[in-house]
Amino acid sequence: MAKLGLPVVWSDDVLRHVPKAEIWIGVPTPGTELPERATVLRSALVRAGARLVEARPLGDELLARVHTPELLAHLEGVYGQWVDGGYLEYQDRVVPYVFPTPAMLEGLPMRRPTATHARAGQFCYDTMTLVGPGTWPAARAAAHAAATAADLVAAGERAAYAICRPPGHHATRSGFGGSCYLNNAAVAVLALQRAGVARVAVVDVDAHHGNGTQSIFYDRADVLYTSVHVDPGEGWFPHYAGFADETGAGAGEGANRNVPLAPGTGDEGWLAGVRQLVEFIGDRADAVVLSLGVDAAKDDPESPLQVTEDGYGRTGELVRELGLPVVAVHEGGYHLPTLGSLTVATLAGITGTR
């Protein structure tokens, strides 16, 4: 393989988030979204010839356009409130236990709970996405990395990649979950548009549907959201979104394309799905934001799909066929021994260096 060459955006702060555990069906389990994910990626990309670029602190203007001020304030302050409330005696991470779902409120007004342990579930929609002392600075750094990569592409790079950790595509405008806190892909989209790119296509190749990114752009015609992922109807996260009949709303009708795949799908079916996304985008975009999860790989513990390293390289080549500049932001991928090689293969496909 030729030298990779593309810029890889990095921030040391992405290592500060240490979730320690996830609580799944009531059972604490070891966390898989570990700081080592970022260092494995960095090492593999440097070995492949990529050049590291430091993420620039870009202020929070883009975050304020992606997320509600209430969510941002919650993520910034809730761990300190947890500590001040004496909860460390019971749990050293912020964990929700009650959620103000539509079924609970049935049209009643949303209130701000007095108790911190009640507020923990106002914005977080699952029990897997814990908040610790380093969560906010890490999530913010990941978003800044995504924006920096977008600015590099807007300035003339054909492709740039951001090591975003924690990932982001499950984060909605007003909520977080699925190990995601801030939506890095959405930040990259808006950074491109701020630089003058009119139409952006999101290509989401994480094993799980990016419900957050889809919802943020669901009613917009200038942002296409496309995703290939394991079928949520077969019991996979995010369960409630990611179906083929979700095509957009209002001005965004027809700007959304989901390709759900059956568990056990390997390279052939996966690549056919990616091809559908590329054909759907066609000539309707000026740049691509690639939500690059590699957890559809056959060894990954978070997905039942069976994509190989060659399948990921060919995925990158299909994205390259669009002939558009690409901002890649990292999403999932949890098998540390293969995480780096899968990512390098995808980026090599994008840059034509396989």
Query: Please, what are the averages of pLDDT over each run of 10 residues along the chain (354 residues)?
Result: 91 96 90 96 97 91 96 98 96 95 95 95 96 98 98 98 98 98 98 98 98 98 98 98 98 98 98 98 98 97 96 98 98 98 98 95
Q: Which of 37, 120, 137 lies closest to 83 in space, CA to CA?
A: 120
- Catalytically active residues, by annotation: 170
Q: Where are the beta strands (DSSP E) in 146-286?
A: 159-162, 200-204, 223-230, 256-261
Helix, strand, coil content of the chain in percent (nearest 5): 40, 15, 45
What order do you get walking across the sheet with 51-54 strand by strand?
51-54, 7-10, 159-162, 326-330, 287-292, 200-204, 223-230, 256-261
> Does the predicted model carry a pTM greater than 0.85?
yes
pLDDT for res 58 = 80
pLDDT for res 2 = 78
